[in-house]
């Protein structure tokens, strides 16, 4: 698989709850940046597959995603930028959120070394208040 196909498969894995599939394409020391307000229980800067696995557990405990739509991909060299949209709600408050998103994936030797996520963090944080 090329890098775009790896990212696409990662989104399929996410939508099917196959977190192990996502973790399998991460390097052992992957850097995962998901900025956000302290109100967002799963936001933060992570390092390594173990912390990324914990991210998905926290996200699953806190949110339900009703839509997750990757829409386009831009690839150059070892980077893939994916653009999309998601919607969901906080399990604690039942408040909804939605946002366009961009994710920048950086690869080395077929493994994800770095992922940075760009979303409307203010809108998401409001759903947790």
Q: Coil, helix or strand for 42?
A: coil
Would you state the pLDDT for residue 72? 98
CA distances to 21, 68, 86, 126 from 15, in Å: 11, 7, 11, 24
108: left (phi over 0), alpha (psi -120 to 50) or beta: beta
Q: What is the tens place of the pLDDT at every residue in 80-109?
A: 999 999 999 999 999 999 999 999 999 999
Pick the CATH number of 3-128 from 3.40.50.10380, 3.10.450.50, 3.40.50.300, 3.40.190.10: 3.10.450.50
Percent of the chain with pLDDT over 70: 100
Q: What is the chain's alpha carbon radius of gyration, rounded to the nearest angstrom?
A: 14
Would you state the pLDDT for residue 1? 92
Would you state the pLDDT for residue 48? 98
Q: What is the tens place of the pLDDT at every residue in 12-64?
A: 999 999 999 999 999 999 999 999 999 999 999 999 999 999 999 999 999 99
> If you ran DSSP here, which 8-state letter would residue 36 be given?
-
Would you state the pLDDT for residue 12? 97
């Amino acid at each position: 698989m090329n890098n775009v196909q790896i990212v696409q498969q990662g989104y399929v894995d996410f939508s099917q709850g196959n977190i192990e599939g996502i973790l399998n394409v991460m390097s052992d020391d992957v850097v995962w940046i998901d900025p956000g307000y302290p109100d967002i229980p799963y936001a933060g800067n992570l390092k390594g597959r173990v912390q990324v696995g914990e991210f998905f557990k926290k996200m699953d405990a806190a949110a339900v995603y009703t839509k997750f739509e990757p829409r386009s991909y831009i690839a150059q060299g070892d980077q893939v930028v994916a653009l999309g949209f998601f919607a969901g709600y906080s399990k604690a408050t039942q408040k909804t959120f939605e946002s366009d998103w961009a994710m920048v994936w950086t690869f080395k030797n077929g493994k994800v070394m770095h992922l940075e996520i760009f979303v409307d963090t203010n809108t998401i944080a409001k759903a947790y208040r």
